[in-house]
Amino acid sequence: MSCRGNMRHLASMKRIVVKVGTSSITHANGQIHVHKLDMLIRQLSDLANAGKEVVLVSSGAVAAGMKSLGFSERPAQLADKQAAAAVGQGMLMHMYEKLFREYGLTVGQVLLTKGDYLHPRHYLYARNTLVRLLELGAVPIVNENDTVSTEEIKIGDNDTLSAMVASIVDADVLVLLSDVDGLYTGNPMTDPEAVLRPMVDELTPEIWASAQGSGTVLGTGGMYTKLVAADIAMNSGVDMIIANAATPKVLLKIFAAETIGTRFVAHNVHPQMWKRRLLFGADMCGQIRVDAGCRDALMQHGASILPVGIVEVEGEFVQGDGISVYYENREIARGMAGFDSTELRRIRGRKSEEIADILGYVPADTVAVHRDHLVVKQ
């Protein structure tokens, strides 16, 4: 059974999220590149005037605030980053508000953390705010709330943040604008035979292995974080495109259906709100590896995971923790553990009727991960 999404025409897509990387809107010294910023906003305004609902996820706050505080390079200490973000965020928003207003559009600033996605009430507040801004014709400008984020609640990069936002607002497509043309078969800087992949409908182990680190000293993202974003987007029913921000009229070309960058095709799976939290980077406390029969039952028939299908248990976790489900070297699902890791190691590979005798008590349920507590990654 295929869960690949039907290819939708880009020109018909209405709700779009655009993420712009630090290097795409700043000079090498971290100062805001006014011309690049104006070209970006002109395109976004044109799309909005054509009837698109536009959300902008903007990097650059830390970089923009560095020089004003005397930093010559991106600070390593969290407090210094927060200070730079506090200064830079105001500078960026002033520019965004001024330029968008020149093209007749109103903007609204939304600052988020990972906690806003993992807490159900905060999630709903964030969704309601973003959707209402779009309904009112405004352009939400989203960034991570660096000034209050701690390591425990940081998302850490705006590629992942943009995918979370795209999922929350039920976007049709997410566009990551960066300083790369898209996803290549290898590193084009070191591999002369590397070629651009125009389309991806499955994130294979080979693709994950090809991911490289950050390309600039000012940015925090690299190809790996873009693949993480693609993983979230595709499994939330959102197409994603990686494209080079330096390409003239890149957004207008994309939505005129020209072949630009790399397109990651959304899956038909569209998880319920609370299930999406498993895709949003909630810490996975462990892993289970399943056999081929369990994999087929899970992916083709939507079955629960029974202990008999588990071949290996890794990590330490308790009942209710998030765990990753692997078949061989590929993560195929995420879910909530029905047993703690110690119990699961004792009953893995065993039939349901044996479990009570092995554990010495009758559990409320004999499934390792219930299908209602699973997000399958097709």
Report residue 131 as tokens: 């959707």
Sheet with 330-336: list strands edge to edge.
310-315, 286-290, 322-327, 330-336, 374-376
Query: CATH assignment of 10-275, given 3.40.50.720, 2.40.110.10, 3.40.1160.10, 3.40.47.10?
Result: 3.40.1160.10
φ, ψ for residue 312, nearest 5 deg: -155, 145
The pLDDT of residue 69 is 85
Say whether pLDDT at 228 is over 60. yes
Residue bearing the bigger pLDDT, 77 or 100: 100
The SS3 of residue 230 is: helix
| Under 8 Å between Cβ of 23 and 215 | yes
Report residue 85 as tokens: 């973000």
| pLDDT confidence tier of residue 151, bands split at 50, 70 and 90 | very low
Residue bearing the bigger pLDDT, 149 or 25: 25
231-250 pLDDT tens trace: 889 988 899 999 999 999 99
In this structure, what DSSP letter does residue 307 have?
A: G
Report residue 378 as tokens: 């097709």
| Under 8 Å between Cβ of 99 and 56 | no
State how far the Cα of 219 lies from the Cα of 69, in Å rounded to an integer: 18
Q: Given the structure tokens 């905060």, which residue do they identify?
A: 122
| pLDDT confidence tier of residue 218, bands split at 50, 70 and 90 | very low
Spell out the domain ranges in the chain. Answer: 10-275, 283-376
State how far the Cα of 272 lies from the Cα of 373, in Å rounded to an integer: 11
The pLDDT of residue 336 is 85
- Could you tell me how far CA 284 lies from the centroid of its own chain? 16
Residue bearing the bigger pLDDT, 55 or 89: 55
In this prediction, residues 312-340 reach a mean pLDDT of: 91
* Range of 121-130, 204-213, 324-333 with top mean pLDDT: 324-333
| Under 8 Å between Cβ of 343 and 234 | no
84-120 pLDDT tens trace: 888 888 888 899 999 999 999 999 999 887 667 666 5
The pLDDT of residue 4 is 44
State how far the Cα of 293 lies from the Cα of 233, in Å rounded to an integer: 28
State how far the Cα of 11 lies from the Cα of 15, in Å rounded to an integer: 11
| pLDDT confidence tier of residue 277, bands split at 50, 70 and 90 | low
In this prediction, residues 153-181 reach a mean pLDDT of: 85
Q: Quote the pTM value.
A: 0.75
The pLDDT of residue 219 is 43
| pLDDT confidence tier of residue 276, bands split at 50, 70 and 90 | low
Q: How many CB atoms are located within 10 Å of the residue 248 CB?
A: 7
With 0-12 / 13-18 / 19 or more C-beta atoms within 10 angstroms meaning exposed / middle / buried, residue 300 is: exposed
Residue bearing the bigger pLDDT, 27 or 175: 175
Please name the fold of domain 283-376: 2.30.130
331-366 pLDDT tens trace: 999 888 999 999 999 999 999 999 999 999 998 889
